[in-house]
Chain A
């Protein structure tokens, strides 16, 4: 027998919202989903009229839904934003080829300009070439570090005010857990912030911070949005995988777990007198870093010197080596549009 929509619109419900347990029809679900993202944007004052905003687009479900919803809200509520798609091509054969195709489709569907930046352009190395050097054990370190900076660099090139990423509530809760498990107090403090910004680097924000992954997938499905879904073909981070499954198991027993963990992360404060790494700018490339020389520059130096393990794990040796070669900085590549 059909269940009536909890919003009392008179229609029958199509789905049970994981976040609230409400049974809603499609239209009422769309409305609730969009309103929550809108409220997040307004309450956290993420944007200002006239802002140039780059959407970090991977072709996956989160960024596809983010691009769709931001375009819709920008029109519905007249935010006055100038929206762009920004993609990073890591240079992984058979992985990005398909997902970049999806991003190109987003560009057409959402009528937004797209800029694709490749690791090769930015760093002189594709991920395929890096894996050939370092093997598959540490390649996710490289990929993650390079990707983070690639977005900043791309944003700087595009002259945007803000980069929005598709991080959802599950991602944030998972990161809180990971930082607890690793004892990484500095990241634990930062990881729940909806807006992050380095000294003179561009604002990063997460409009889907309070949006459940399940609802993103349901929204994409019912809106018939096309996205790309495969794991990266290189070994996934097993430790993170466990944290994710643990979270999914908790969510099944009590759906509010995800919001509760985010809330715990937000309320957490570090006692005075605890030494925190300070945030500054890399002396080589100028992007935000907790060290004198940023992780990307250290990893890159290792690759270029044929010492790919440089910068993985304890970095004293890396610092010594780098100190000796800081002269040859300024060789930063410029990227043309």
Chain B
């Protein structure tokens, strides 16, 4: 709070096999509140801070790899403007892979 900004607290979860790319299935995050957080900015932050290896299995260009579903508070991100969506405090962002074994 020293800078006068409030951190943005959100939850990020990985499922359906997407968790295999990360250390933890569920992550409680405090993102620096210095500027606006869109989902797109979060994707890059996840790539740089949470992803273990093989970023191409998670990101392709500036969006998730086709076959990974994204839900914010259990709502499909396709109804929320995808990468443009502005994160709010206590949002839960869920990534579900459809690409793993059936």
Q: Residue-by-residue, is B29-68 near A (CB-CB < 8 Å gives 1, otherwise 0)? A: 0000000000000000000000000000000000001110
A178 to chain B, nearest CB (A): 16
- B4 within 8 A of partner (CB): no
C-alpha spacing A306/B74, complex, angstroms? 54
Is A231 touching B79 in the complex (CB atoms < 8 A)? no
Q: A23-B79, A217-B96 are in contact. Are A60 and B66 (CB under 8 A)?
A: no
* Most A-side CB within 10 Å, residue of B65, B99, B102: B102
Q: Residue-by-residue, is A33-58 near B (CB-CB < 8 Å gives 1, otherwise 0)? A: 00000000000000000000000001
- Report B-chain residues with C-beta under 8 Å of the C-beta of A14: 74-76, 79
Is B101 touching A16 in the complex (CB atoms < 8 A)? no
Is B101 touching A217 in the complex (CB atoms < 8 A)? no
B20 to chain A, nearest CB (A): 6
Is B17 touching A230 in the complex (CB atoms < 8 A)? yes
- A32 within 8 A of partner (CB): no
Q: A217-B16, A221-B96 are in contact. Are A229 and B79 (CB under 8 A)?
A: no
- B69 within 8 A of partner (CB): yes
Question: Number of contacting residues on B, CB 8 A?
Answer: 21
C-alpha spacing A230/B21, complex, angstroms? 11
- Report A-chain residues with C-beta under 8 Å of the C-beta of B76: 13-16, 218
- A309 within 8 A of partner (CB): no
- A89 within 8 A of partner (CB): no
A34 to chain B, nearest CB (A): 19
Q: A214-B69, A229-B100 are in contact. Are A15 and B16 (CB under 8 A)?
A: no
B20, B66, B79: the one contacting A13 at CB < 8 Å is: B79
Closest residue to A221 on the B side, CB-wise?
B96
- A120 within 8 A of partner (CB): no
Q: A217-B96, A229-B97 are in contact. Are A15 and B79 (CB under 8 A)?
A: yes
What are 26 contact pairs spanning A and B, CB under 8 A?
A3-B79, A14-B74, A14-B75, A14-B76, A14-B79, A15-B75, A16-B76, A16-B79, A58-B102, A61-B16, A61-B102, A166-B102, A171-B102, A213-B67, A213-B98, A213-B102, A221-B16, A221-B71, A221-B96, A229-B16, A229-B17, A229-B100, A244-B99, A245-B66, A248-B67, A252-B66
Interface residues of A (CB under 8 A from B): 3, 13-16, 23, 58, 60-63, 166, 168, 171, 213-214, 216-218, 221-222, 228-232, 244-245, 248-249, 251-252
